[in-house]
Copies of this chain bind each other. A is one copy, B any other.
Amino acid sequence: MPRPISATIHLSALSHNYRIAKKYGGAAKVWAVVKANAYGHGLDFALEAFQEADGLALVEVDGALKIRAAGWSKSILLLEGFFHAEDLPLVAQHRIEVAVHCVEQIALLEQATFAAGTEIRVHLKVNGGMNRLGFKPAAVDMAFRRLSAIRAVKVVDLMMHFANADDETNVRLPVTEQLQRFAQAQAALGDASLEISLANSAANLLNASLKNDWVRAGIMLYGGSPGKGSAASFGLLPAMTLASELIAIQELEAGESVGYGSRYVALQPMRIGVVACGYADGYPRHAIDGTPVLVNGVRTSMVGRVSMDMITVDVTGIADAKVGSVVTLWGQGLPIDEVADASDTIGYELMCAVAQRVQLIKGE
């Protein structure tokens, strides 16, 4: 009854990938990052698959409350902290830990009234040069002192995020430079006993010497590459298979074109399969001719511009391709990163973009 497109979520792959994150993290505890509806995999499925996680981290306050309501009793961390004063009573009541990255958040904590016995665990964010969130090293001590003066607040952690953990050739802001800035921030705090959290997936997988107490594992949990090296090379398994069906076949003569803009022109007679999947399902409109797809498990190429609800694929060499044939867009048998490469983007974006109209199905 729905359109024939669905994303099967492989819960065992999610669990497996979490264990890989633990393995690479050594003694570190690992946050399973489940923001953006668990990178498009569904928060409910993620919760089920990450039962053994040390904690769950996300950016959505409502998502955090949902997880708590579903019975998750271990740590929950808001990676961007709270956004508004009205978030604070909820954070306090449901024991949600928060990043604090700016003085405006500190001021809200200072102004709030908390019940006696409240403890809000704060992860103090250091801006190590990425200039997104966090205090510059010179301001970290001030932030720590102000936070420590608030009765309900307990600063537990120093966090930083790398701009280029996936690219050791970046000379503008190498990992080493960020680590030096982080060390400055630590030194300013003297002997304050704080845990540290530095590694995202890329740092966890690619920077073996990095020491930290908490890893923040995101893309790797979902079987995507952190930017360098294939996911498979780290032992990661795809956690989502996006699949649809052929809904039509067209026989083309040489010289005929396909789709909007007539971008693709057949050089010889071809059979074209039309797939119920378009950019409004989350398939990338930037995908070029030749982007890989599987039809009945056989690898072939997308051709022609991606439409809102359809793509067109070459089924010339796939004799058994017919209306109803299964088409795999990415997942088991076809790494999402290959489709991302052909669309000039990253697997992260594709996973997150899977649209509401695509059914999420629980798989092995």
Which residues of A line the B interface, CB within 8 A?
1-4, 35-37, 39, 59-63, 80, 83-84, 86-87, 90, 101-102, 104, 127, 129-133, 163-164, 167, 170, 172-173, 245, 247-250, 252, 256-262, 265, 272, 274, 276, 279-280, 282, 285-286, 307-310, 312, 322-324, 344-346, 348-349, 352-353, 355-357
Complex CA–CA separation, A319 to B257 (angstroms) = 53
Q: Which of B90, B258, B349, B356 contacts A131 (CB 8 A)?
A: B258
Shortest distance between the CB of A2 and any CB in chain B (Å): 5
* Given A3-B61, A133-B310; 15 other pairs, CB 8 A cutoff: A3-B59, A39-B280, A60-B357, A63-B357, A129-B256, A130-B259, A131-B252, A131-B272, A133-B248, A163-B261, A163-B262, A172-B262, A173-B262, A279-B348, A286-B345
Question: Contact: A37 with B258, CB < 8 Å?
Answer: no
A2 touches B62 (CB 8 A): yes
Which residue of the partner chain B has the closest CB to A274? B132
Residue pair B2, A285 in contact (C-beta under 8 Å): no
User: Is the pair B310, A83 in contact by a Cβ cutoff of 8 Å?
Assistant: no
Q: Which of A131, A285, A355 has the most CB of B within 10 A?
A: A131
State the CA gap A83–B324 with chains docked (Å). 9
CB atoms of A308 and B35 under 8 A apart = yes
A257 touches B102 (CB 8 A): no
A309 CB to closest chain B CB (Å) equals 5
Q: Are A80 and B276 also in contact (CB < 8 A) when A102-B248, A260-B163 are?
A: yes
Nearest residue in B to A172 (C-beta to C-beta)? B262
Docked-complex contact A258 and B87, CB < 8 angstroms: no
Least CB separation from A130: chain B residue: B259
Sample (29) of A-B pairs whose CB atoms are under 8 Å apart:
A1-B62, A1-B84, A1-B87, A2-B61, A3-B59, A80-B310, A83-B247, A104-B322, A104-B323, A104-B324, A130-B259, A131-B259, A131-B272, A132-B258, A133-B248, A133-B310, A163-B257, A163-B259, A163-B261, A163-B262, A164-B261, A170-B261, A172-B257, A172-B262, A279-B352, A279-B353, A280-B349, A282-B353, A308-B348
